[in-house]
Structure 1
Amino acid sequence: MERVVDIETDGLFLAAHRGFLTVSSAGEEKGRIPLDDVGALIIHAHGTSWSNTVLVRLSERAVPVVICGANHAPVACVWPLEGHYQQGARMRAQVGASKPLTKQIWRQIVAAKIRMQGYVLSWAGKEAGAFDLLARKVRSGDPDNIEAQAARRYWKALLGSDFSRDRTADGANALLNYGYTVLRAVISRAICAAGLHPTIGVFHANRANAFALSDDLMEPYRPLVDRIVFELVSSGHVELTSDAKRRLASIATLDLDNGDGTVSPLSLQAQRFVHSVAVSFETGRVEIALPGKPAPQGVRELMDDP
């Protein structure tokens, strides 16, 4: 099972030794994990240092290394140069994708996100009937900005009328920042593995955003982070503690319904989803494997008290 490794203790040294990622402090090894089990490496701590071999070995495995700022949002990411044997052809297809194609992909992504928001609200005991209707109203490219209309209803309904999404704020916002950072890393690895480039989005096109595609493709999964944050806040966990990070990082292992009676962990389902987007770029037909709702047993395990 791929694991999201978070470095939050100051002054640690990371190295690669005989197939393991090792973590040491003052010359004493504190822990190790097989490199093949690492799904993403997220670094928050001050004074972290590492050998160049760590970056080489993780890049060989298409594992992103995400460096975060004080607000727990990513400020840099080490991106592997090679990720798929069809990388060149797929990137050319990605760059050359027609506007109608990318608009149809975005329509499905937005609709899936809104349906997932409705699921989260329903689970939280909130009124969610309007969200299925909003999802059905999304048109190609979302010209009516149904996504924003849903967001305005969603945040107030889920976290209260006083809540405002602010990436620079503490409390629930810091929890959301961290959870989204985990998602971004998981999706970024899937993008690399599919032979796509993270900068070339289907909707986001900010020149300063080197991970526009990552931000596009993580949208349907965001409400799953929101659900965990709601659970944390409701139980009095409003600070980004080690336990809160552990629970948020474990979202990569959350089992999602595949729609055919089977389930897959989010990290694996994300690979299937991103691969389907890559194939859509190549074929010109929109046939994408969107995420389903969480499997009940997986949610119960994820929500166990830290």
Structure 2
Amino acid sequence: MSWRTIHIKESEYIRLKLDNIEIAKEGEKYYVPLSDIAIIILEGNDTVITTKLLSAFSKHNIIVIICDDKYLPTGMYMGYGNYHRSAKRVQQQVIWAEEQKDLIWQYIIKQKISNQIAFASYRDIPQERLEMMIEFYSKVIPGDKNNREGHAAKVYFNSIYGSDFTRDDYCLENISMNFGYAIIRSAIARIVTGQGLMTMIGVFHCNEYNSFNLVDDLMEPFRPLMDYWIHKHIIGKSEYLSYESRLKIIDFINQPIKYKATKSTVDQVMLKYVTSFVKSMETSDPEVLHEIQLSDFMEEEV
């Protein structure tokens, strides 16, 4: 299983060398086996990349994330149709029943809110606000048609970052979360396509302009884990999202997390989570979906 996340900053070029990626930087050349790589993150405006290497990335199911001048991810390149039964998976997706999708979305959102409650509790927010979030959690219905997710998110962010905080503010917290969520999104996208699923066919997200509706569905429970990681390792350590901070956020997916009483890593649990999602949709049983818990991550994080 590929496991490496490669961060390439201000390289002259990257190209294919046998079954390795060759990275040229500051007069030196570095080599990494393609079979080891899961994600590549590119920063800088002058890196040259060959189409032959892009083709190799596709065949090895390697995600390439492109960052802008502010070091925020703005684009993603990934392979297509490499799963051996992609057509069957897509046919299954197309016929998912609305009732089936509503039930799985209820499970996903309850996991997300539960993790938000865990992080909010860790941050010692006022008890009455915790109770509000717990109330929202208990009222999530199939399809979250009463939008308990939105209500819980407002209480969550305002309790942690202040009553005037919005996700549109230009601040280190938002910049860090945007970067971190993009890393989660890319990792989930790689797994989703690797399982032969169409990223644009979601269970809740259905924006016709969004090519990653399903990915945006499945990443939801992992967001509070990233919030915790950012709080522990980024906020208060620097006034801006430094190079070292970006590397720390990227390293999130390599961190240990408990999975069914055994130690795993975040990226491995993501794979198991997506696999359980596929099984839950095939069996119409939302309870098959693996539960992602912040406590399992906090317990292993050092």
With normalisation by structure 1, the TM-score equals 0.89
What are the superposed Cα offsets for residues 118-155 of structure 1, whole Å, 9 maximum, x if unpaired? 11122223344443442222100001101111110111
Counterparts of 1:102 and 1:238, CA distance in 2:
42
Residue 37 to residue 147, structure 1, CA distance change in 2 (3 Å): same
* CA spacing shift, 1:6–1:269, aligned 2, 3 Å: same
Q: CA separation in 1, counterparts of 2:216 and 2:70?
A: 18
Residues 268-293 of structure 1 deviation map (CA, whole Å, 9 limit, x = unaligned): 11111111222233233322113233
The 2-side partners of 1:10 and 1:297 are apart by: 37
What's the CA shift string for 1:190-210, capped at 9, x where partnerless?
101211011111111111111
- Which of the residues 124, 130, 152 maps onto 1:150? 152
Partner of 2:15: 15
**Alpha-carbon spacing, 1:178–1:109, altered in 2? closer, same or farther (3 Å):** same
CA gap of 1:59–1:33, structure 2 versus 1, over 3 A, is same
Distance 1:209 1:119 in 2: 30
Unaligned 5+ residue runs, structure 2? none
The size of the alignment, in residue pairs, is 296
Corresponding position of 1:241: 242
Q: Counterpart amino acid of 2:220?
A: E
Within the alignment, does 1:110 sit opposite 2:112 as a pair? no
User: Does the 8 Å contact 1:83/1:193 carry over to 2?
Assistant: yes
Distance 1:125 1:138, change over 3 A: same
- Could you tell me whether the CA contact under 8 Å between 1:71 and 1:174 is conserved in 2? no
Quote the Cα distance in structure 2 between the aligned partners of 1:116 and 1:12: 42
Are residue 278 (structure 1) and residue 296 (structure 2) matched?
Answer: no
Which residue identity does 1:156 align to in structure 2?
N
Q: Is the 8 A contact 2:234 2:245 kept in 1?
A: no
Task: Point out the more displaced range, 229-238 or 286-295.
Answer: 229-238
**Residues 297/281 of structure 1: CA separation in 2 closer, same or farther (3 Å cut):** closer
Q: Which residue of 2 aligns with 1:304?
A: none
- Check the 8 A contact 2:86/2:197 in 1, yes or no: yes
Give the match for residue 169 of structure 1.
170
Partner residue of 1:199?
200
Q: CA RMSD in A?
A: 2.1
- For the residues of structure 1 that align with 2:170 and 2:82, how far apart are their CA atoms? 35
Q: Structure 1 residues 3 and 125, CA, compared in 2 at 3 Å: closer, same or farther?
A: farther
Which is further off, 18-27 or 89-98? Answer: 18-27
Q: Which amino acid aligns with 1:28?
A: E
Bigger relative contact order, structure 1 or 2 (CA pairs below 8 A, ≥6 apart): 1
Equivalent pair of 2:11/2:23 in contact (CA under 8 Å): no
In the TM superposition, residue 72 of structure 1 has moved relative to its aligned partner by 4.8
Deviation at 1:109, TM superposition (A): 0.8
Cα distance change of structure 1 residues 46 and 159 upon mapping to structure 2, 3 Å threshold:
same
Give the drift of 1:234: 4.0
Match of 1:141 in 2: 143
Give 1:52's aligned residue: 51
Residue 277 to residue 126, structure 1, CA distance change in 2 (3 Å):
same
- Once the two structures are aligned, what percentage of the paired residues are identical? 26
Query: Per-residue CA shift, 1:39-59, capped at 9, x if unaligned?
Result: 211223212221223212221
In the aligned structure 2, how far is the partner of 1:38 from the partner of 1:297? 27
Q: CA deviation at 1:103?
A: 0.8
Task: Describe the shift of the 1:74–1:207 C-alpha distance in structure 2 as closer, same or farther (beyond 3 A).
Answer: farther
1:141 counterpart SS class: helix
Residue in 1 aligned with 2:228?
227
Q: String of CA shifts for 1:206-225, please: whole Å, max 9, x gaps.
A: 11111111111101001111
- Once the two structures are TM-superposed, the CA of residue 176 in structure 1 deviates from its matched residue by 1.0
Which 4+ runs in 1 deviate beyond 6 A?
none
Q: Is the 8 A contact 1:10 1:48 kept in 2?
A: yes
1:263 aligns with 2:263: yes
Q: CA offsets per residue over residues 209-267 of structure 1, 9 Å max, x none?
A: 11111111101001111112223454242311111111111111122222x31132111
Q: Residue 46 of structure 2: SS of its match in structure 1?
A: coil
Q: Flag structure 1 segments of 5+ consecutive residues without an equivalent.
A: 301-306
In structure 1, C-alpha distance between the alignment counterparts of 2:189 and 2:15, rounded to whole Å: 23
The letter for the 1-side match of 2:181 is Y
The alignment's TM-score, normalised by the length of structure 2, stands at 0.90
Could you give the per-residue CA deviations for residues 42-85 of structure 1, whole angstroms, max 9, x where no partner exists? 22321222122321222112121122334555433222122322
Does the residue aligned with 2:138 lie in a helix, a strand or coil? helix
